[in-house]
Chain A
Amino acid sequence: MARMKFFCDAERCIECNGCVTACKNANEVPWGINRRRVVTLNDGEPGERSLSVACMHCSDAPCQAVCPVDCFYQTEDGLVLHDKDICIGCGYCFYACPFGAPQFPSEGAFGSRGKMDKCTFCAGGPEETASAEEQRKYGANRLAEGKLPACAEMCATKALLAGDADEVADIYRERVAYRGAVGMATGWGVGYGKPGIRSNTIDLTGKAAGRD
């Protein structure tokens, strides 16, 4: 079975926040909730890098481990989803998550947290697929329609990759090989490479040879 993953190529991300906007539009998330965000390191300095971050759908998810009501589940695609009917909005997943993915609408007494909301990999939730209820609680279920998450499909520079982990890895490996940074997945200064460098690259997949 496929295992779905996000990957953000920091050499390509230009911090346009198109993924954030696409996510909001596709999932119609409540005001104040951002399932995805772009974090820029060393903003405005030479060598700045940006990364688009959302739920990374961990294989061994800390949120799932720490949830006091056990509302998380993993799909066959390896997606970490949760049931909003069970969630009590305690915030423990937010303390535990390495990526700050869980978001909480402020509702109830003393501005306490409402039901947690996070990236679903555009795969909806436990409600009936494509139902109005699913759309209202969890947003789009693009995966059921055979589409990838809106953020990745919208990405103008194709920095944000989403899909089956093996394919994402293949695409990225090809890029790394193209950049000529053998043995270094990240860190080459040029995202798109220079003309002429290509002939020297080792094509690990065999896919790049015929394309231009």
Chain B
Amino acid sequence: MSKHRRYRRALRWSLLLLALVLVLPLVPYAVAAGGTQFNTPGVELWDAVRARVQGPMRTQVEGVQSNQLINYWGDQWRLFRSQLLVPIGAVMLLAMLGIITVFYLVRGRIEIEGGRSGVLVPRFSVNQRVVHWLAATVFIVLGLTGLVLLYGRYVLVPLLGPEGFGVTASACKEMHNLFGPLFPVAILAIMFSFGRGNSFRGIDFQWFLKAGGLFGHAMADSGYYNGGQKTWFWLTVLFGIAMSVTGLILVFPNFGQGREAMAVAHVIHGVVAVGFITASLGHIYIGTLGMEGAAESMTNGYVDAAWAKEHHNLWYAEMERAGMVGVSPNTMEEVKRHDDRDFRGFGQPLGRREPLDPTVSPPNRGPTGGGISPAATPSAPKEST
């Protein structure tokens, strides 16, 4: 028994000794790891530089942010542009083109179902049309030159070679910079010329529920503008303001706004531009190729009564009541008279029209000779369908 105990005590002691032999040499290392301080002031400085939190910096060289040692956001901006904007933008634009193509193949051109009536209804005044085409021209120039700058490296450099594309890109950049400052003017003009009648109403939501009658043949009720047109108007205003503000930040580098402001402006500019161009493809399609009788409202300002009845039935009824159906723009004076009327009357949503002044004779309601006349000369003074 006691022999056994002595044996166990010896074992315990030898184990303890072994542990000490193993652990003791580590003690200086442990102390050193926890407690050594090098007297090196530079270390903190370079740690701060690496963490981008260094103190004040100065340089004798004048320039935009020349006193900044490292550009904080440059890499984030580069990754955004090359990994998000370029690929996602391309997918969006190509997807929109694909959707439009499929829609055209499936649905075909949306035609006036009852055929043209030959009776005209005034829709957009000269001022509205001028503003529309001003904005459209500036938009298309800016959109195309912008797309060249965004995708030229991937699409045009293989075709034209770097030197050839350099010339193209240089011209595009100059045009983008020169046309750019016109865009805010165009957007302001759009706001003032098309703002009236573009606030959303209850019937617009019903229009959205029916998807505007794009699918099938049941047309949705609509006043002067339908829900889709109102959406496009407000997109134009919001996107236009965003593009204008960020574009002006980018186009005037001489104010020294610095890299961060310009990179943020570029991010917004790029994202909104891709969305704006994508949406505009839909607008351009439905206004020209996609729908019979739509484009002429923006070319000569008049639409066919049958088209108006199908697509803007409430507005048509209103125009009929006002005696504006069946007028014809035979002379320049006549066109001007209509345009004068525009600013008093048509285009207003239902219920807000001022009563017509009976002393003012209604515009010409019948075929009169001479002067300019659109392709479809009105043959019947009243609606004929």
Q: Which residues of A approach B to under 8 Å, CB–CB?
A: 10-11, 15, 17, 20, 32, 34, 36-43, 45-47, 49, 51, 53, 62, 65-71, 83, 85-92, 94-100, 103-104, 106, 108-113, 181, 184, 186-189
Contacts and interface: CB of A to CB of B under 8 A. Distances in A.
B129 interface: no
A91 to B, nearest CB: 6
Contacts of B81: 66, 92
Interface in B42-65: 42-43, 45-46, 49, 54-63, 65
Given A70-B157, A86-B163, A42 B56 contact: yes
B120 to A, nearest CB: 44
A39 B162 contact: no
B70 interface: yes
Given A49-B45, A67-B153, 11 more contacts: A17-B61, A39-B57, A41-B55, A68-B149, A68-B150, A69-B165, A88-B169, A88-B173, A100-B65, A184-B40, A186-B43
Nearest to B73: A95
A188 to B, nearest CB: 6
Contacts of B254: 106, 110-112
Given A108-B174, A109-B178, A98 B75 contact: yes
B359 interface: no
A71 B78 CA distance: 16
A69 to B, nearest CB: 5
Interface in B276-290: none
Nearest to B47: A187
A86 B206 CA distance: 54
A87 B40 contact: no
A148 B166 CA distance: 31
B368 interface: no
A32 B61 CA distance: 9
B71 to A, nearest CB: 5
Contact of A89 (B46, B172, B173): B173
A42 B45 contact: yes
Interface string B242-285: 00000000011110000100110010000000000000000000
Given A39-B58, A181-B40, A189-B40, A85 B163 contact: yes
Interface string B151-185: 01100010000110110011011100110010000
Interface of B: 38-43, 45-46, 49, 54-63, 65-71, 74-75, 77-78, 81-82, 149-150, 152-153, 157, 162-163, 165-166, 169-170, 172-174, 177-178, 181, 251-254, 259, 262-263, 266
A193 B43 CA distance: 17
Q: Is the interface of A mostly helix, strand, loop or mixed?
A: loop
Contacts of A96: 71, 74-75, 77-78
A100 B59 CA distance: 13
B173 A97 contact: no
B42 A10 contact: yes
Mostly helix, strand, loop or mixed at chain B's interface? Answer: helix
Contact of B166 (A11, A71, A106, A184): A71
A42 to B, nearest CB: 5
Given A40-B58, A91-B262, A49 B63 contact: no
Contacts of A97: 71, 74
A39 B69 contact: yes
18 contacts: A11-B42, A32-B62, A62-B78, A65-B78, A66-B82, A68-B153, A69-B153, A69-B165, A70-B157, A85-B166, A86-B166, A88-B173, A95-B263, A96-B78, A106-B254, A111-B253, A186-B46, A187-B45
A71 B162 contact: yes
Contact of A37 (B39, B55, B66, B152): B66
Contacts of B149: 68, 90
Contacts of A189: 39-42
A53 to B, nearest CB: 7
Minimum-distance CB pairs A-B, first 6: A111-B254, A187-B42, A86-B166, A37-B61, A187-B43, A187-B40
Nearest to B60: A17
A86 B161 CA distance: 10
Given A37-B63, A97-B71, A104-B253, A66 B162 contact: no
A43 B59 CA distance: 9
A41 B178 CA distance: 40
Given A68-B169, A70-B162, A43 B69 contact: no
Contacts of A188: 40, 42
B74 A111 contact: no
B41 to A, nearest CB: 4
A81 to B, nearest CB: 14
A142 B369 CA distance: 82
Contacts of B45: 41-42, 47, 49, 187
B63 A94 contact: no
A103 B61 CA distance: 12
Contacts of A39: 57-59, 66-69
A99 B178 CA distance: 30
Given A86-B163, A88-B173, A108-B174, A40 B70 contact: no
A184 B43 contact: yes
A38 B59 CA distance: 6
A51 B67 CA distance: 11
B300 to A, nearest CB: 36
Contact of A112 (B56, B68, B253, B263): B253
